[in-house]
């Protein structure tokens, strides 16, 4: 009986995994460098219908319309009354509209706390050509998206921060088309992230929507980066897709005098190895990007790519072979002034410019993939990046579908950003509590990251535990990671500004230490003595004491204090000091710098001189 149960369980697991993967099929051959393609932007104002009962999805017997015999009746049909007797209980055209990209919570008071389904519709004109392929691309939809084009379902995507696309070749109409998205940001225990997070669960189409056009054989993907630890060799691949997959493809970097051809195999793939004599290597001080052209017989794409190596050696981090200290700050994908998700380049520049004002050379893009544009901007502005997936706190470690989902999100992030020189670290998660299933889950994510990209460091934000006056960093995952990174809230969640200096760090690994978080809440403009919680003075003294504690760690090679700006969180409920804001920002929700901002900047100025 036991054996039978086990077989039944395995069978079930296989079904769950398969169904996840089938849904995830839209992910295959994600177009590298979407912004480098001929495309039509579908951004703009989309009409929307708030649908808490999912009336547009289920009939009154709770059968999804899109799975019923006729396939008719859901909101995805975008119907208009044709004669006066026709009963239709919705109308997109008469419904309100919101900005896309943009979360819905920040666009209407009604939606501030909304979690559930909203339907969004956009109309656009197309003129599809017979010798082209078309992809409908979404930068991100939080969390589950059902996508319909001209009333037909294209598929489902789960995961709120990674891109996805559908092949819509042959599905576009000459002239008017319409796309309908059912976006649902309901939280579930078994998803990634899970139900409990310390950030706002912004719903909606939060990133760009594009209709991309490519030739019938096209450059689907490529990696053009320096080989691991090697300043004299570019290594990577090109991947074609379509009808004639075996072709000559030429990679050129005119400014560096590089031009090399490779021939793709029947599967469209070719390995690229290019010896280089001299390049202006990418650094935060001099973020040089080269124009890289990749040309097949009928497709050609241009990218801006920087070249640098990143490695660890003992307790050192080496950028282009030189020891570097990571002067960082953590940030969320949120503009506190809206407040809502970053909606475009202006918002992104504002955030990264603030990091620059702190004299940062590094940012932690917490706790999930930020947009491709953000990472491209970091390339351009000279900021190294810690990129992360939302494997946060108490994930369902034993559910194989949850693992498949986490692995998919990690893969999508790495596939998307593997050509960005700014990205130096892949993080597989944050503050995940020790247990055997967790260790296994996280260990497998580390292997996934390494198998997809061996040129970057792999890390995770670990937890600490206290033993007397020792702050101990010991985690079975630590052996598998390149950095010792952990969140410690000395002086805030334990101890206080007076006593925190009595603690010492006891770190069990001989690796570079890059602290992922410490911090204190301060309400911007609230002043008191430095023992008073929520005051700018408390936060300021806590930062000073942290520097005293942290500089005593021999392997200290960087940090990303928590956090650049105040951010919204449903968990932060003190009516006066918080009011649904986490106040650990160095900049308030009105954009005002708190005292600790200047303390951190002074510390970074010092560290910069030490590492010259
Ligand atoms: C943490 C989490 C972060 C929280 C922060 C806090 O350790 O990683 O997401 O926002 O603490 O403010 O408590």
pLDDT at residue 7, as a whole number: 42
State the pLDDT confidence band at 8, using cuts at 50, 70 and 90: very low
Q: Is the pLDDT of residue 435 over 60?
A: yes
Bridge partners, 285 (sequence order): none
CA 147 to ligand 1 centroid distance, Å: 33
pLDDT at residue 19, as a whole number: 38
C-beta of residue 98 within 8 angstroms of C-beta of residue 107: yes
CA 598 to ligand 1 centroid distance, Å: 22
Cα separation, 413 vs 22, whole angstroms:
19
Higher pLDDT, 388 or 3: 388
Mean pLDDT along residues 468-481 = 97
Higher pLDDT, 452 or 26: 452
Q: Which CATH architecture has domain 34-213?
A: Sandwich (2.60)
Return the SS3 of 352: helix
Residue 26: DSSP 8-state: G
Query: pTM (2 decimals)?
Result: 0.95
The verdict on the CB of residue 584 being under 6 Å from ligand 1 is yes
Residue 30: DSSP 8-state: P
* Pocket residue to mutate for ligand 1, from 193, 196, 197, 198, most atoms within 8 A of Cβ: 198
pLDDT at residue 28, as a whole number: 53
C-beta of residue 244 within 8 angstroms of C-beta of residue 138: no
The verdict on the CB of residue 431 being under 6 Å from ligand 1 is yes
Fold equal for 34-213 and 312-610: no
Q: Which helix (H) or strand (E) covers residue 184, if one does?
A: strand 175-184
pLDDT at residue 72, as a whole number: 77
pLDDT at residue 22, as a whole number: 32
Q: Is the pLDDT of residue 64 over 50?
A: yes
Percentage, residues of the chain above pLDDT 90: 93
Q: Is the pLDDT of residue 97 over 50?
A: yes
Mean pLDDT along residues 427-456 = 98
CA 129 to ligand 1 centroid distance, Å: 50
pLDDT tens track for 65-84: 998 877 678 999 999 999 99
* Pocket residue to mutate for ligand 1, from 366, 391, 518, 582, most atoms within 8 A of Cβ: 582
State the pLDDT confidence band at 23, using cuts at 50, 70 and 90: very low
Arithmetic mean of pLDDT over the chain: 95
Mean pLDDT along residues 276-290 = 97
**Distance set, CA 79 to CA 13, 76, 154, 238, 256 (Å):** 40, 8, 18, 44, 56
Length of the chain counted residue by residue: 612
CA 487 to ligand 1 centroid distance, Å: 8
For every residue of 262-290, which 3-state class applies, written as one string? EECCCCCEEEEEEECCCCCCCCCCCCCCE
Q: Is 159 left (phi over 0), alpha (psi -120 to 50) or beta?
A: left
Q: Is the pLDDT of residue 11 over 80?
A: no
Residue 392: DSSP 8-state: B
State the pLDDT confidence band at 476, using cuts at 50, 70 and 90: very high
CA 566 to ligand 1 centroid distance, Å: 12
pLDDT tens track for 307-337: 999 999 999 999 999 999 999 999 999 999 9
The verdict on the CB of residue 299 being under 6 Å from ligand 1 is no
pLDDT at residue 69, as a whole number: 79
217-307 placed in CATH 2.40.50.140: no
Listed range (60-69, 448-457, 533-542) with the worst mean pLDDT: 60-69
Cα separation, 172 vs 136, whole angstroms:
10
CA 476 to ligand 1 centroid distance, Å: 22
pLDDT tens track for 485-534: 999 999 999 999 999 999 999 999 999 999 999 999 999 999 999 999 99
The verdict on the CB of residue 566 being under 6 Å from ligand 1 is no
CATH homologous superfamily of domain 312-610? Glycosidases (3.20.20.80)
Bridge partners, 242 (sequence order): 217
Gyration radius from the chain CA atoms: 25
CA 367 to ligand 1 centroid distance, Å: 10
117-126, strands of its sheet edge to edge: 97-100, 44-50, 117-126, 175-184, 144-149, 152-158
The verdict on the CB of residue 540 being under 6 Å from ligand 1 is no
Domain residue ranges in the chain: 34-213, 217-307, 312-610
Percentage, residues of the chain above pLDDT 70: 95
pLDDT at residue 3, as a whole number: 42
pLDDT tens track for 178-188: 999 999 999 99
User: Tokens at residue 66, please?
Assistant: 């899109």
Residue 582 CA: nearest ligand 1 atom is 12
pLDDT tens track for 189-210: 999 999 999 999 999 999 999 9
Q: Are strands 423-430 and 457-461 parallel, antiparallel or unpaired?
A: parallel
Q: Is the pLDDT of residue 26 over 60?
A: no
């Amino acid at each position: 009986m036991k054996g039978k149960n086990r077989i039944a369980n395995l069978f079930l697991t296989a079904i769950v995994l398969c169904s996840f993967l089938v849904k995830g099929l839209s992910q295959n051959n994600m177009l590298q460098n979407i912004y480098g393609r001929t495309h039509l932007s579908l951004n703009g104002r989309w009409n929307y219908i708030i649908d808490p009962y999912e009336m547009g999805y289920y009939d009154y017997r709770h059968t999804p319309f899109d799975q019923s015999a006729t396939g008719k009746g859901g909101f995805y049909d975008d119907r208009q009354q044709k004669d006066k007797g026709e009963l239709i209980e919705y109308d997109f055209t008469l419904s309100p509209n919101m900005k896309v990209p943009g979360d819905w919570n920040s666009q209407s008071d009604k939606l501030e706390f909304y979690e559930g389904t909203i339907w969004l519709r956009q109309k656009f004109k197309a003129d599809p050509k017979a010798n082209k392929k078309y992809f409908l691309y979404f930068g991100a939809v939080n969390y589950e998206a059902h996508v319909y084009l001209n009333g037909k379902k294209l598929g489902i995507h789960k995961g709120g921060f990674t891109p996805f696309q559908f092949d819509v070749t042959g599905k576009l109409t000459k002239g008017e088309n319409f796309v309908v998205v059912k976006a649902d940001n309901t939280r579930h225990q078994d998803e990634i992230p899970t139900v409990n997070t310390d950030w706002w669960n912004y719903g909606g189409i939060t990133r760009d929507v594009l209709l991309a056009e490519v030739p019938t054989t096209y450059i689907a993907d490529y990696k053009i980066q320096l080989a691991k630890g090697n300043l004299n060799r570019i290594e990577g691949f090109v991947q074609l897709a379509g009808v004639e997959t075996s072709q000559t493809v030429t990679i050129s970097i005119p400014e560096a005098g590089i031009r090399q051809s490779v021939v793709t195999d029947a599967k469209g793939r070719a390995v690229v190895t290019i010896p280089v004599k001299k390049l202006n290597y990418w650094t935060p001080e001099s973020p040089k990007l080269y124009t890289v052209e990749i040309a097949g017989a009928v497709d050609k794409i241009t990218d801006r790519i920087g070249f640098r190596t990143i490695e660890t050696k003992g307790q050192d981090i080496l950028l282009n072979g030189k020891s570097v200290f990571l002067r960082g700050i953590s940030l969320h994908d949120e503009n506190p002034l809206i407040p809502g998700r970053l909606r475009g380049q202006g918002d992104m520049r504002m955030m990264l410019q603030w990091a620059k004002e702190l004299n940062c050379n590094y940012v932690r893009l917490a706790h999930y993939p930020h947009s491709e544009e953000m990472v491209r901007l970091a390339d351009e502005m000279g900021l190294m990046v810690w990129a992360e997936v939302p494997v946060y706190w108490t994930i369902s470690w034993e559910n194989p579908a949850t693992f498949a989902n986490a692995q998919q999100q990690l893969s999508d992030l790495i596939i998307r950003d593997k050509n960005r020189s700014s990205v130096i670290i892949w993080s597989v998660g944050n503050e995940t509590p020790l247990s055997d299933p967790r260790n296994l889950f996280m260990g497998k994510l580390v292997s996934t990251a390494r198998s997809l990209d061996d040129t970057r460091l792999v890390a995770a934000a670990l937890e600490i535990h206290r033993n007397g006056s020792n702050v101990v960093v010991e985690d079975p995952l630590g052996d598998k990671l390149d950095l010792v990174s952990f969140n410690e809230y000395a002086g805030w969640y334990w101890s206080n500004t007076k006593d925190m200096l009595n603690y010492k760090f006891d770190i069990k690994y001989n690796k570079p230490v890059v602290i992922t978080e410490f911090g204190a809440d301060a309400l911007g403009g609230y002043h008191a003595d430095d023992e008073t919680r929520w005051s700018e003075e408390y936060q300021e003294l806590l930062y000073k004491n942290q520097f005293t504690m942290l500089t005593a760690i021999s392997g200290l090679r960087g940090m990303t204090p928590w956090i650049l700006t105040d951010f919204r969180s449903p968990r932060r409920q003190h009516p006066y000091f918080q009011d649904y804001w986490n106040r650990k920002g160095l900049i308030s929700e009105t954009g005002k710098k708190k005292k600790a901002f200047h303390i951190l900047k002074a510390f970074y100025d010092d560290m910069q001189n030490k590492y010259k």
